[in-house]
Structure 1
Amino acid sequence: MPPTDNQGSFLNRISIRRNQVVYEHEVEDLEQFQKHVADRLSELFHPPEDSTAGEPQESLLSIAWFRKLLDAFLCCEAEFKAVVIMGRDANNFSKSPLDRLIPEHLDRTMKALDICNAITHGIGLLQHWQKLAQIAVDSLRQKPIGEGHVMRAKKALNTLLSSIAIDDKENHHHTKSTTSSKDHTTIGNLKSLSYPFAKSWSASKQIQAMSSNLATPRGGEPTGLVVPVYLMSSVLVFVMWAMVAAIPCQERAGLAAHLQLSKQFPWAQPMIGLQEKIGEQWKKKEKKGRSGLLEETQRLEKLGSNLVEFAEGFKFPVEAEKAEEVAAMVEDMGEICRRMEDGLEALHMQVRELFNRIVRSRAETLDVLDQVNKMTTPVPY
């Protein structure tokens, strides 16, 4: 028996109510996602001043801070996929503006994969710097310090400093070295580890391309998924930008000017604050040809310069006051080497996980888009 008008009206009300409950649940999920991102970014903006005994400091731009940054990104990426991609009606992605925003996001992730590769090679370069610094530390810890120890330390530190001081614009060319042929070979090997891309490849241009069409969502967008897609793209660009600024990468001129973010979202405030802090540091260092803003690299450079100065004026025996001063610098460099040895391998594993996670998420998103294409493709008769 066909339903009466009253029955039809009742079923319509049930359907509307069910849809309303689903909508409210989705809105709550999206709001929670934005809140979680804001909380994680706030923790990065205000890292703890004191760390647990035995744990490395999480000061801005340190290895420990970048490990926390990548942890935060991986958490955000997993939540983004759960909220936006998994279990969604594929029809959502055929509607404007998602039919444009999702492919643009996928294009950014493809560029991010290139940057992950560059960062992986940059970490390899940092590990070589750590080994050079460790040679100097081991040599200068000898008691009493003899001329042979000092000369060995000086040679390692000169190679280290020469590599650090290479200008970014020349990173993909052969080094114009004033060091010995053996040192020149060492630096060349380090550069080949760090810059496997074509000479025209630029980390800075990759970041610029990722951010160029990252437009703030307008009011009254037809779907609630626009904001989380914008959010995830913004976080992706920021993470890539921060890593490129800190870790040796090929061609980074003008990097500070590439990231523009809207201030209208709560999660954007800590991200903008972090960008401003890092951007200020970059502007200070950019004209000096430094190979990144990583805290440990900058400290190695400063200590290395001071220890080379000591080596150049070395006279045996060393005065007690000078010996104490040098010993303090050597211990400081030794601590940095320890942090780099422990932290860089873990960071390398996180970058690999980031790469693999992006690949998997791209594949899952492309599967959804493939469903959309099948639904919208006319069936031939």
Structure 2
Amino acid sequence: MPATDSSSAAAPLTSIGRSIRSLRRDQIPSFPPPSTADPTHHASSDLEPDAFQRRAADLLSDLLAADPSSPDLLSLAWTRRLLDSFLLCLEEFRALLFASGAAAAARPPLDRLVADFFERAVKALDLCNAVRDGLDLVRQWRKHLAIAASVLASSPDPAAPLGEAQIRRARKALTDLTILMLDDRDGGGGVVGQRNRSFGRGNRDARAHGQGHHRRSSSGGSSGAGSSNHLRSLSWSVSRAWSAARQLQAIGGGLPVPRPHDIAATGGLASAVYTMSAVLFVVAWALVAAIPCQDRGLQAHFSVPRNFPWSGPVTTLYERILEESKKKERKNSCGLLKEIHQIELCSRHLIEITDAAEFPLPEEKDAEVREAAQELVQVCESLKDGLDPLERQVREMFHRIVRTRTEILDCLSRPHGTE
């Protein structure tokens, strides 16, 4: 799907760019939907606007739970829970709009509010692409981390001290990793801006277009195999001037707070649309905070009235992530994801303890290096287990937004009062 731009004119309501059938064909299977036997899952047909708001409040509160068994804020596991909550909210929001008849969403003032929400949701599609490319970048970092861990853990004689060649090889891998992470941090996205692809286009189709052919990119230029823009020619791409920070501002800026008259006229559905808009922004903002993105920034202002049941949890979530970004050790990080911070800490620690090491290593120093190597192994395993499931959920977020938008905009395009 072509990239969206926060400064571009709004697309026609009836235009989605690709049919939902082709999008679903390309989709990677996601996690199963919540079981209706689960007592915490509300039956969509029984959900009312007020109940939907309370449901959103409960889901957000669960993300803030201080339970020791809960995953840490901004870890891979926590980010997956965040997307679980978003997908459930979006599915229940869709069911709510259609619960009283599809024509309800096509009548004023709800049609205007729903159209505004989906124009904001389109901006989130580019962010899904950017986050997926950020996850690819973390995979590249993991490869260097795995090299260092493997070298230090593959001693032919576990009883013998680590040799100079092993230490040098591990240090080189970690130095290369540090350079890659610095390039991304200082370059406003590094290779992320060049690798951006869309969930709306299958890799097989992209390869077919890239083999021996030149194709015009979404930014207006053409590129072919062998050039520095080769990766851009294989897929849809945001332009080099695209900015995650500006996209977030477009999603969350000036959210229209429903007026009492609109709430009454829509039977509370206007408040549900506002709820979903706020949840969309906070989830998109948290993803950009956690994962490396092109021109990543968290300066988008966000505030909501306090009279909504979910306003407390959503504001607390926003403030906690903002506080985390301001911590001294996190200010210059490529992303706030807990595992990215562990990569930085483990790499720095191992480089420091092996700096100017004398060989053979003294017993205490050898034990310290081996302990640090085990930390590398643990981080590698955590990334190996968590990156692919998270990417599948980001992909599901992309497709679910497209599907919901298509269904409801089809409704909005019909004459008022028809089903």
- 2:244 matches 1:203: yes
Correspondent of 1:228 among 262, 266, 272: 272
Correspondent of 2:401 among 358, 361, 367: 358
Alignment of 1:92-131 (within 5 A): 92-96=105-109, 98-131=110-143
Contact kept, 8 Å, 1:166 with 1:289, in 2: the verdict is no
Please report how far the alpha carbon of residue 49 of structure 1 lies from its aligned counterpart in structure 2 after TM superposition.
Answer: 1.4
How large is the RMSD of aligned CA atoms in angstroms? Answer: 2.9
Alignment of 1:298-377 (within 5 A): 298-372=341-415
Structure possessing the higher radius of gyration over alpha carbons: 1
- 2:266 matches 1:237: no
Please report how far the alpha carbon of residue 167 of structure 1 lies from its aligned counterpart in structure 2 after TM superposition.
Answer: 5.8
Alignment of 1:79-94 (within 5 A): 79-94=92-107
Please report how far the alpha carbon of residue 26 of structure 1 lies from its aligned counterpart in structure 2 after TM superposition.
Answer: 9.2
Quick one: percent identity of the two aligned structures? 40
Task: Decide whether aligned partners of structure 1 residues 166 and 95 sit closer, same or farther in structure 2, where only a CA change above 3 A counts.
Answer: same
Residue aligned with 1:313, SS: coil
Alignment of 1:29-48 (within 5 A): 29-46=48-65, 48=67
Contact kept, 8 Å, 1:168 with 1:251, in 2: the verdict is no
Contact kept, 8 Å, 2:113 with 2:273, in 1: the verdict is yes
Please report how far the alpha carbon of residue 324 of structure 1 lies from its aligned counterpart in structure 2 after TM superposition.
Answer: 2.2
Contact kept, 8 Å, 1:47 with 1:59, in 2: the verdict is no
Task: Decide whether aligned partners of structure 1 residues 64 and 39 sit closer, same or farther in structure 2, where only a CA change above 3 A counts.
Answer: same
CA distance in 1, matches of 2:49, 2:96: 7
Identify the residue that residue 21 of structure 1 maps to in structure 2: none
Please report how far the alpha carbon of residue 87 of structure 1 lies from its aligned counterpart in structure 2 after TM superposition.
Answer: 5.0
Contact kept, 8 Å, 2:54 with 2:310, in 1: the verdict is yes
Residue aligned with 1:139, SS: helix
1:335-368 CA-to-partner distances (Å, cap 9, x unmatched) read 1111110000110111111111111101111111
| Comparing 130-139 and 260-269, the one that deviates more | 260-269
Correspondent of 2:82 among 69, 80, 98: 69
Residue ranges of structure 2 left out of the alignment (5+ in a row): 1-43, 193-227
CA distance in 1, matches of 2:136, 2:347: 20
Residue ranges of structure 1 left out of the alignment (5+ in a row): 1-24, 52-57, 176-187, 376-381
> After the TM superposition, which segments of 4 or more aligned residues of structure 1 sit over 6 Å from their partners?
25-28
- 2:199 matches 1:155: no
Please report how far the alpha carbon of residue 59 of structure 1 lies from its aligned counterpart in structure 2 after TM superposition.
Answer: 0.3
Contact kept, 8 Å, 2:188 with 2:296, in 1: the verdict is no
Q: Which structure's residues are more often helix, by fraction? A: 1
Identify the residue that residue 188 of structure 2 maps to in structure 1: 171
CA distance in 2, matches of 1:372, 1:168: 50
Contact kept, 8 Å, 2:106 with 2:417, in 1: the verdict is no
Please report how far the alpha carbon of residue 287 of structure 1 lies from its aligned counterpart in structure 2 after TM superposition.
Answer: 8.8
Counterpart residue identity of residue 119, structure 2: D
How many matched pairs? 330
CA distance in 2, matches of 1:40, 1:150: 47
Please report how far the alpha carbon of residue 134 of structure 1 lies from its aligned counterpart in structure 2 after TM superposition.
Answer: 1.0
Larger RCO (CA within 8 A; separation ≥ 6): 2
